[in-house]
Amino acid sequence: MKGISRRWPTYKYRLGKVIGGLLVTVILASCGINEARTPEQWFDFTWSGLAGCDTLTFRGLAALQRGNGQGLEESFSYTGRLQEHKELSIRGEPVSQRGGHLAGHLQTAGLAQPNGWEAKLRLEHGNWQVQSDDHNALLQGVVRLNPLEQLEEIRMAAKKKITSESGAARGTKVLRIEMDPAEATIRLKDRLLSEMELTREAGLAKLEQVSASQQEQLRDELSQIWTTGSKQLSVMLEQMKATVVYHLTIDRKSGLPSRLTSETTLNYLSPKGVPQREVLRTDNRFGGYQ
């Protein structure tokens, strides 16, 4: 016993070194597992975590720029809240003013009302649907701002390029996601055509609110306006090219998205054949996960 007691400090020291070495190995191994993930696996990992959340919130900013980048940039902010995994509300805040003028194009589009706006959406069969009987193309357009819809589009895209960005803040992983231009163009064309059809349906619905004696005349005027607008849109879409790039920031600890930005660039010809360029940027920050 006396010999063992003399050797015990040595055994304890050696055991401590072994345990310490094992802990370091485990820590390094876990870090290695994280780093061993490909960019595609990182996206799948964060998507799986997001799919398990019933509640979350986000705050976003959308900015629209036309021309060569020197023109007036129109922007507005919005917030969103997901409940019970399928119920989503997005509320737009009053538009910012630039030089004493409201953001004209966004205000004309109905997305920049002084008192704001609200859209309620529900997830149905993998798609976010606006919960409204009103044939409102403007509310349908809000879906394009929904970051959850954007993430779903990324997941479902047949062709995309996902790479890791260097210089990410500590504790985060940043992915750059470039959508296939041909696929992105087709998807956007389909949405714009659908929204154009909704404007016609909305106009017809409003005809029911006027007297029968005026309906026929107004119906003819509405038909002419819609036909002209539809032809102009078709000309613009025929040559339109779209590029869409996302940056997804992932919290390494939780595996959940903390930020998603997008940049959609459209190049097309006006009805008069003049080259046009528009860039829509969105920036969404997530929180409130449950």
What percent of the chain has pLDDT above 70? 75
Say which amino acid occupies 252.
R
Q: What pLDDT is recorded for position 134? A: 60
Work out the angle at residue 23's Cα, subtended by the Cα atoms of residues 19 and 27, and round it to the nearest 5 degrees: 170
| pLDDT at position 258 over 80 | yes
Give the span between the Cα atoms of 239 and 275, in whole angstroms: 10
Helix or strand run (H / E) with residue 172: strand 172-179
Q: What pLDDT is recorded for position 30? A: 43
Q: What pLDDT is recorded for position 127? A: 83
Tens digits of residue pLDDT in 167-189: 889 999 999 999 999 999 999 99
Supply 112's token pair.
């920049």
Give the span between the Cα atoms of 188 and 65, in whole angstroms: 18
Tens digits of residue pLDDT in 90-149: 988 755 544 434 344 444 444 445 556 788 899 988 888 888 766 565 666 677 889 999
Q: Is the pTM of this model over 0.85?
A: no
| pLDDT at position 86 over 60 | yes
* Residues 254-276, mean pLDDT to the nearest whole number: 93
Residues present in the chain in total: 290
Q: How many other CB atoms are found less than 10 A from the CB of residue 47?
A: 18
